[in-house]
Structure 1
């Protein structure tokens, strides 16, 4: 049921300013000094989702090893100390060694919403009374909603991987399904699900196949429209990954293209998207340390940070600090502008 996404992740395994200022202007102001980038946390087990709270502390999902149910939610304080919060999430491996488990997460009204791609579940955890060092909870004890089964039924597909999520109008949650190529809307009051938008395939200039799937991996809401970035399906045509914009009626159009293999996105201080490029595809494998952090405006794409090692998640904390998860290194990178 995960054939499309399985192949994708098997290949992955081979291997102070005002809000009205443009982020690009901030970058220009600090030249010739480069952004300061340091490893903030090491030793994580396939970190994927990163979320910051009001105190600029991090909540991170770990997909696990794929050999046992060792997926985790962890809390990371400002000093980089890691505390397990919930343990025992299922973590599965394909015959080729690709790992599947927890995906991205979202903090809303002191509730953490966590997506699990294999199980198709939206897990929920109230963190109001959490204290670092509390005895870890078990995944089996968490409340959840079955999103994956709904996607299969209503989109008439066996392919689902609920991958990323954001908050939109009326406090509703919008979920990007990377395998079904769709955006699912969850009503904040009734919890009812609906198909908000579908993401179209992308033309492949190589011709075989003529089109590739979009594979939406990142989603954010800027107050007026949604922005969705795409990984693109095999053979990952260079410079064809697209950022789509979706209006409040679900109409999809192109925001920007000319990018490659996008894994996640966040809004910069000016509301423009900052995206992650996973790395350079050779036709056989991905080259290590070729990932990038890129500011994308309607007129141009500007590289902000180079030489990232297979980045999979980005989170903004404060005005000019970003955290980037490098899943296969087990690290969180901290980037300050």
Structure 2
């Protein structure tokens, strides 16, 4: 599953966060959203490094111009790796870079066509000559996943996001195959779990809606997986699934709309990102949200975001959120 939406302006707003369960954050807290970086080409994935810099995967414009950039505290983007595949595919959707992850001293990068790149970016300084994607080690997993005998075969694969799980293995969401894929530290790949779809709750579209798994986190005991849902992208029907270490899938919490990311936080619960509400002209502008998820339900933390794609926590009071309008915004409270 890919995302393509019109470019629109940035957002500056303040919102209320309620229902926190930890004394480190008051029950009612003012949250401010301010511009941080702009002019990015389809920012999809965000990550932070040990030095306090934000890194962004830019999907590009469809001209094989995907890149990995470092964002310095002044909001300026410094290209680190350039030349990743970026193409416009059927339906006008953009197929390019997805998410990134620092692990074991390596920057892992999910590229188009379910490719996993590995880059050593230790020592990079703003102003250094960017590396080229073609020079990076890459594991091309497209055919492996396409050849797998899924019970409901979509004949598609789109490795979208990843996390570190037990024993340091990597676990990926595949938004095309509707599955979780595992890669051991030794480099052995396998299908870990299949994420089920739902019966279409609307009169529009097919009778069955694919899950389209997006975000994934591991809390030390289980995985939590957010889902977008395929066409017609029904509201209030997306599910967060929990997956145990044996690959058994069950519902953690439902009632969400078009989720594209999930994050564990320093407070109890998690934060999820709602990409937007789907309407007659596609995902409507400024209908994105950040929602706080607790055991007893969820609530809106930030409203009115424009087509958000990812959220990363910098410290206890600072987050960054990317959007398909080319912006990264700073969220503070």
Q: Normalization by structure 2: what TM-score?
A: 0.90
Q: Quick check: which one's helix share is greater?
A: 1
Equivalent residue number for residue 201 of structure 2: 205
Shift of 1:271: 4.7
Larger CA deviation: 142-151 vs 200-209:
200-209
Match of 1:248 among 245, 250, 260: 245
Is 1:102 the equivalent of 2:103?
no
Q: Is the 8 A contact 2:21 2:268 kept in 1?
A: no
Which of 79, 87, 94 aligns to 2:82? It is 87
Q: From 164, 168, 171, give the equivalent of 1:171.
A: 168
Pairing partner for 2:328 from 310, 316, 332: 332
Structure 1 residue ranges without an equivalent (≥5): 16-21
The alignment's C-alpha RMSD in Å is 2.0
2:315 paired with 1:321: no
* Within-5 A mapping of 1:181-192: 181-188=178-185, 190-192=186-188
The within-5 A match list for 1:57-72 is 57-66=53-62, 68-72=63-67
> How far apart are 1:78 and its partner, in Å?
2.2
Specify which of 140, 143, 154 is matched with residue 149 of structure 1.
143
The answer for the alignment partner of 2:115 in structure 1 is 121
Deviation at 1:132, TM superposition (A): 2.1
**Runs (5+) with no aligned partner, structure 2:** 9-18
Aligned residues between the structures = 319
What is the TM-score of this pair, normalised by structure 1?
A: 0.89
Question: CA–CA distance in 2 between the matches of 1:276 and 1:223?
Answer: 22
- For 1:151, what is the secondary structure of its paired residue? helix
Aligned partners of 1:49, 1:195: CA distance in 2, in Å? 23
Matches within 5 A, 1:229-248: 229-248=226-245
Q: Which residue matches 1:41?
A: 37
- Report the Cα offset of residue 133 of structure 1: 1.6
Q: 2:21 touches 2:27 (CA, 8 Å); kept in 1?
A: no
From the superposition, tell whether residues 307 and 26 of structure 1 become closer, same or farther in structure 2 (CA, over 3 Å).
Answer: farther
Match of 1:136 in 2: 130
- Stretch deviating more after TM superposition (225-234 or 50-59): 50-59
For 1:151 and 1:60, how far apart are their aligned partners in 2?
A: 26
Q: Summarize deviations over 1:126-152 as a string: whole Å, max 9, x none.
A: 122222221111110011111222111
Report the alpha carbon displacement of residue 204 of structure 1 after superposing the two structures with TM. Answer: 1.9
Moved over 6 A (4+): none
* Distance in structure 1 (CA, Å) of the matches to 2:40 and 2:55: 12
The DSSP-based 3-state class of the residue aligned with 2:292 is strand
Change in 2 beyond 3 A, CA 1:14/1:127:
closer
Match of 2:51 in 1: 55
Contact 1:276–1:291, Cα closer than 8 Å, also in 2: yes
